[in-house]
Amino acid sequence: MDKTQVMVYFSLYGDAFPIDDVTGKLGVTPTEAYKKDDLIPNRSTVCYRKETSWDLGTGYQVSLDVNNQFQQIIDKLQNKSLIINDIKEAYTLECKFFIAVIIKEGNTPALYLDKDIIKFAANIEAEIDVDLYASPY
């Protein structure tokens, strides 16, 4: 039986910037990173990245509470809001949290953000993007 899955990731993105420098300053290894003009793999047509990005994500996990995955990311970045803001200013970057939910058999997860998540996102001026993929049930 397929189960509902949730993925959360944080992205620092912008024009060209040194990914290794961001990794060093944060002391966290990204789960994915790419540079502007890199070829996007596994596409039927040739496409290139339009920006550079440093991402930290959970990957898809079976879950019925988005906060569980969100907290995994926050735990790694919680005390780094000043560093994130310095990096954003130094390289003119933006940041965003992405939430992706694959809903199976109508089992929708709790989709709320607790005050600590909201406070952290506000401190680093991060946007929050939610994508829902509902399979028929």
pLDDT tens profile 22-79: 999 999 999 999 999 999 998 899 999 999 999 999 999 999 999 999 999 999 998 9
Which of the four pLDDT bands, split at 50, 70 and 90, describes residue 96? Answer: very high
Q: Give the per-residue pLDDT at 105.
A: 86
Contacts of 136 (CB under 8 A, 6+ apart): none
Contacts of 19 (CB under 8 A, 6+ apart): 30, 33, 35, 52, 54
Q: What gap in Å lies between CA 69 and CA 57, rounded to an integer?
A: 9
User: Of 83-87, 120-124, 128-132, 133-137, which gets the smallest average pLDDT?
Assistant: 133-137
The pLDDT of 79-100, averaged and rounded, is 97
C-alpha dihedral, 114 to 120 to 126 to 127, nearest 10°: 10
pTM of the predicted model as reported, rounded to 2 decimal places: 0.92
Q: Give the per-residue pLDDT at 136.
A: 66
Which among 136, 37, 54 has a CA at the least distance from the CA of 88? 54
The pLDDT of 132-136, averaged and rounded, is 83
Burial class (CB in 10 A: 0-12, 13-18, 19+), 27: exposed
Domain boundaries, the chain: 5-134
The count of other CB atoms within 10 Å of the CB of residue 9 is 19
Q: What gap in Å lies between CA 82 and CA 48, rounded to an integer?
A: 32
